[in-house]
């Protein structure tokens, strides 16, 4: 916790929305990105975005915070649940109609966006609904970056299960 995962994800967003290099690597084209955050307040996300050179919000850079979700629905987001998955798909359709369909969706972080036991070796099938949702997003042509916590015991390795790795192309 607190080692810069969100800053790396935001820097990737900056690179993609501005067509500037990311970690010294070129960005091929300027694209839209949707950043879904489960921890920070929207004002904090905006401050970080401005400080990092992310363009004006709504101009290829879009954010959904837990705060936004709570204000709209009166509850915290749970992307393991079909209602919240449907809400996000509706949001994506709205972006597509405005020709601002995101090239990348960043989910920061899974622990706060998904209720259940996704990070545990005792996870149930119900806990994997978000992973199936990621598969659906891929089917619709979206790329996703998920930010997760590795856990407190570095000797035990990541606190996610191997099944989570089945749904990703790259894990860093």
How far is residue 88's CA from residue 62's CA, in Å, rounded to a whole number? Answer: 13
Q: Render pLDDT for 98-119 as a digit per residue (tens, 0 to 9).
A: 888 899 999 998 888 988 655 5
How far is residue 21's CA from residue 112's CA, in Å, rounded to a whole number? Answer: 29
How far is residue 106's CA from residue 143's CA, in Å, rounded to a whole number? Answer: 9
* The pLDDT of residue 53: 87
Global pTM reads: 0.85
How far is residue 158's CA from residue 146's CA, in Å, rounded to a whole number? Answer: 14
Q: How far is CA 161 from CA 20, 67, 70, 127, 156, in A?
A: 34, 28, 29, 11, 12
């Amino acid at each position: 916790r607190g080692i810069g995962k969100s800053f790396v994800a935001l820097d990737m967003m900056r690179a993609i929305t501005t067509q500037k290099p990311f970690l010294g690597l070129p960005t091929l084209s300027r694209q839209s990105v949707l950043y879904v955050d489960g921890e920070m307040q929207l004002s904090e996300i905006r401050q970080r975005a401005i400080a990092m050179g992310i363009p004006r919000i709504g101009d290829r850079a879009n954010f959904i915070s837990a705060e936004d979700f709570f204000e709209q629905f009166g509850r915290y987001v749970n992307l393991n649940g079909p209602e919240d998955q449907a809400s996000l798909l509706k949001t994506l359709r709205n972006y597509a109609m405005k020709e601002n369909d995101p090239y990348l969706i960043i989910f920061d972080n899974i622990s706060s966006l998904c209720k259940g036991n996704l990070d545990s070796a005792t996870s149930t099938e119900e806990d994997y609904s978000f992973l199936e949702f990621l598969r659906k997003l891929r089917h619709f042509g979206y790329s996703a970056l998920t930010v997760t916590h590795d856990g407190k015991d570095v000797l035990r390795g990541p606190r996610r299960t191997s099944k989570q790795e089945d749904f990703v192309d790259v894990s860093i």
